[in-house]
A and B are shown apart, each in its own frame.
Chain A
């Protein structure tokens, strides 16, 4: 079956770095997405990886290893506003997104 695993909750300190891991199993693969969702709001797009390697975008970076079925989202210089849920989603061969349950990130001063 198709499955996405990511930690339920993580805590980090303002100004620090945090890495949110995601493993996936899908029928075919057409890319891995990361979305940020603040409480009560819709998700917003953060990143897309389809090739192996690291994609850097400001304070956020996303990594993909297709052979390992593994991705991570790296957040640097954490700010209080980064407190949110981070959703990992893999696109299968039918171009459907398979969603993880999300990782709630709590930032402490």
Chain B
């Protein structure tokens, strides 16, 4: 399957600092990437849809000024958590959509996730 990488895999930061998380599609181009957040023992929560070359679409309740998303190329999307607070501590996972022409299939492949701990 398609490979998606995420960096860093884990990060600990002080409250008030900003953290940038990178999501890369390694062997394919992704016009659409997704950012999810997952709290312990809960399902994935979609935060935003990132489209290459345009502004991200945020889900209701997600602060776009706090969670900055940049999808500058077909293989890279970044999520920046600005002025992080302890309640932002979570597991952040990106996914990239593989669009296969000729076949109705739009599978999402996930990166390994980034654990963020804000002290």
| A positions within 8 Å CB-CB of B | 30-31, 33, 35, 41-45, 48, 50, 87, 91, 95-97, 99-102
Contact = CB atoms under 8 A, between A and B. Distances in A.
A99 B113 contact: no
Interface of B: 1, 34, 42-44, 46, 49, 93, 97, 104-113
Determine which residue in B1, B97, B111, B113 has the highest number of CB atoms from chain A within 10 A of its CB, and name it: B113
Contacts, number: 45
12 contacts: A33-B108, A35-B110, A42-B93, A42-B111, A42-B112, A45-B1, A48-B105, A50-B105, A96-B46, A99-B43, A100-B43, A101-B43
Contacts of B34: 97
A41 B9 CA distance: 11
Given A99-B44, A100-B43, A102-B43, A44 B105 contact: no
Closest 6 CB pairs of A and B: A42-B113, A42-B110, A101-B43, A42-B93, A43-B110, A99-B43
A87 B109 contact: no
Given A42-B93, A42-B112, A48 B107 contact: yes
A95 B106 contact: yes
A45 B112 contact: no
Contact of A91 (B106, B112, B113): B106
B95 to A, nearest CB: 8
Contacts of A45: 1, 107-110
A50 B34 CA distance: 21
Contacts of B106: 30-31, 91, 95
A36 B107 CA distance: 14
A43 B44 contact: yes
Contact of A50 (B44, B46, B104, B110): B104
